[in-house]
Amino acid sequence: MRDTPYGLQADDLKRNDSLLTSDTEPGTRGIVMSVITILSDFGAHDEYVGIMKGVILSICPSVSIVDITHQVDPQDIAQAAYLIPASYRFFPQGTVHLIVVDPGVGSQRDILAATHGGHVFIAPDNGVLTLLMNRGKSDTIVRVYNAEYFLKP
């Protein structure tokens, strides 16, 4: 186990294929994802939200995408950290919550996946998950890296 730069404990800093499964793989371990939420600071005046949804649907066409908000103040990690625990509990277990609020976007910052109360949270390692993780019930926190899913300009 090692401390991440923002104080989260990452018990297993390797790819964990059993963390997520799709609904097309019966009998696999992990959490079945049928709903993905997005919380970001992208705003609503450009193409970024649409591109992100298009990429998600290209990978997993049967998933339902729900926008929590895209109006987080730019790079406001504290605001996003507050909104995560305020909203996730209204979704079914197995929901994957993407949090895209990061002052260092485009940098070498790690991406974390954490399970908490039957939900999966994917976010940059910038402290945005700290408030949620301090509430207990976290099963796993891992660093995620799979170049296949990185958008190439």
Average of pLDDT values for 75-91?
Answer: 97
Asked whether residue 24 is assigned to any structural domain, the reply reads: no
d(C-alpha 15, C-alpha 149), whole Å: 13
pLDDT band of 12, cuts 50, 70, 90: very low
Asked whether residue 27 is assigned to any structural domain, the reply reads: no
Average of pLDDT values for 53-74?
Answer: 96
* Predicted local confidence at residue 32, as pLDDT: 60
d(C-alpha 100, C-alpha 104), whole Å: 11
Average of pLDDT values for 92-117?
Answer: 89
Instruction: Tell me the Cα Rg of the chain.
Output: 15
Phi, psi of 57 (to 5 degrees): -70, -25
Asked whether residue 25 is assigned to any structural domain, the reply reads: no
Residues 2/10, Cβ–Cβ less than 8 Å: yes
Q: What is the dihedral of CA 132, 26, 28, 59, to 10 degrees?
A: -60
Asked whether residue 26 is assigned to any structural domain, the reply reads: no
User: Model-level pTM?
Assistant: 0.77
Asked whether residue 37 is assigned to any structural domain, the reply reads: yes
Task: Say how many domains are in the chain.
Answer: 1
Task: Report the b/e string of 134-149 with b at 16+ CB within 10 A.
Answer: eeeebeebbbbeeeee
CATH number at residue 76: 3.40.50.10790
* Predicted local confidence at residue 153, as pLDDT: 65
Asked whether residue 98 is assigned to any structural domain, the reply reads: yes
d(C-alpha 50, C-alpha 68), whole Å: 14
d(C-alpha 57, C-alpha 63), whole Å: 7
Asked whether residue 23 is assigned to any structural domain, the reply reads: no
Asked whether residue 22 is assigned to any structural domain, the reply reads: no
Give the structural domain span for 76.
2-14+32-146
* Predicted local confidence at residue 20, as pLDDT: 47
